[in-house]
Copies of this chain bind each other. A is one copy, B any other.
Amino acid sequence: MKIGVIGYGYWGPNLVRNFVELPTCRVVAVSDLSEDRLRRVRARYPAIETTTNCADLLSRRDIDAVAIATPVSTHYELASQALAAGKHVFLTKPLTRTAAEAERLIAQAERRKLVLHVDHTFVYTPAVRRIREIVRGGELGHLYYYDSVRVNLGLFQPDVNVIWDLAAHDLSILNFLLPSLPIAVSATGMNHVADKPANIAFLTLFFEDNVIAHLHVNWLAPVKLRRTLIGGSRKMIVYDDLEPSEKVKVYNKGITLTTGKESMYKSLVGYRTGDMWAPQLDVTEALQIEGLHFLDCVRSGARSMTDGHAGLAVVRILEAATESMDRRGRPVELRDQPVALRDEPIEPVDLGWKQAVPT
C-alpha cells in the first residue's frame, strides 16, 4: 500500500516516521506549504518525493491513502478532496470544525466505501487500553468520575481554541472508556490574548447514572501535566501519562458507610484504604498500533475503532462546550447522538519493535 502525507508541521513528522517503519506500506510523497520543511523530509528520507501542492498527491493513481496533518480549518476541504479522489483518509484530530462538516465527510466516505479514520491517538496507547479493560471489567465498582488535567506551555493554535486542541484528546478517551456518551456540558474559559481564541478552559460533562467528567486544559501553564483521576465506588485509578514507567496506578481505596454514634446523621461516610497496584504496560508506540489498524481496515474493510462517527461524537461535544463557554458555563444539552461507536477493542499487532529504553 502506498501512502501520501499532507502537512509536515508539528504532527506530520511523527506520522511519516511511523508509516515509514510499518512493513506493509510505503510513504511515497509528502506535501507541505513550506519548502523549508520539505528540505527536512528529503534530508531524512531521500526516497520520499516532496511537493508544495497537495493536489499532486491526490492526483497520483498509485497512492491508496493519505494522512492529513494540517490545521483543523482545512480538514473538511482536504479530506473531501481526498475522498473524491478515491483515497482512504487518516485525519488528525479533531475531525472537522463543525458537526455538519463531519456528517458530510462520513456520508461521502460511506458512499465511496473508503476508510475515514480519525487519529485519536490516545485510544491506541497501552495505558488507555488497559484502563478500559479495568473500567469495563467492573473492577472500579460503580464509576463516579473522570477528572483530567492536560496543561502545558504550548503554541496557540491559529484557528481553534484550547478545547479543540487539548480537550479533544480526553473526549476521545472518554468515549472509548465509557459505554455511553455525555448528555450535557458546562464549560468556562478565557482568552488572555486579544483577538485570539480561549487559551484556558474547564469542561464539566454530565452522564447518566451520576457519572461526571471534568477536563482542564491550558496552553499557558508553566509546567506540563497530564494526569487523570478515575474514581469508582470500590477502586480508583491515577493515570499519569508523563510517568516513564508506572503510568497507571490502581488504588484499592473507597468509601465506607457506618452508623456512628457520634454522628448527628444516620450514616457516616468514611474511607477505606488498601494496596496500590501498577499493572505492567506494553511499550509499543501507539501510532504504530494505530497505523497497523488503519492499514488493516483499508485492506479488510473492517470498521475503524476511531472512524468518522467517533470523530463526530467528539466534534459535537466540542461545539457544545464552546457554546457553553461563551455563556460563562450555562449548560448545553447534547441531544443529537451519533450512531453507536465501534465497541469491540482492537487486537494490537506486535511487530516486536519496542520503544528504545536508553541507559
Contact = CB atoms under 8 A, between A and B. Distances in A.
Contact of A145 (B200, B353, B359): B200
Nearest to A192: B144
B270 A155 contact: yes
Interface centre among A202, A268, A275 (most CB of B within 10 A): A202
Contact of A277 (B155, B223, B278, B327): B278
Of A13, A188, A236, A245, most buried by chain B (CB within 10 Å of CB) is A188
A223 B245 contact: yes
A116 interface: no
Interface in A141-192: 142, 144-145, 147, 149, 151-156, 158, 165-166, 184, 186, 188-192
A264 B229 contact: no
A267 to B, nearest CB: 8
A233 B271 contact: no
Interface string A305-345: 00000000000000000001001111100000000000000
A76 interface: no
Nearest to A273: B280
A237 interface: yes
A269 B156 contact: yes
Nearest to A230: B222
Contacts of A246: 276
A272 to B, nearest CB: 9
A220 B254 CA distance: 7
A263 interface: yes
A329 B43 CA distance: 51
A216 B257 CA distance: 24
A329 B186 contact: yes
B331 A165 contact: no
A302 interface: no
Specify which of A189, A192, A224, A229 lies most central, judged by the most chain B CB atoms within 10 Å of its CB.
A192
A253 B222 contact: yes
A200 B229 CA distance: 12
B271 A275 contact: no
Interface string A43-81: 111110000000000000000000000000000000000
B210 A190 contact: yes
Contacts of A221: 147, 229, 231, 236
Contacts of A166: 359
9 contacts: A13-B356, A21-B44, A144-B220, A153-B253, A188-B329, A192-B233, A220-B255, A222-B238, A276-B280
Nearest first, the 10 closest Cβ-Cβ pairs linking A and B are: A186-B329, A222-B236, A222-B251, A156-B269, A188-B204, A276-B278, A46-B47, A329-B329, A328-B331, A190-B212
Given A20-B43, A275-B279, 6 more contacts: A23-B43, A145-B190, A188-B212, A246-B276, A327-B331, A330-B331
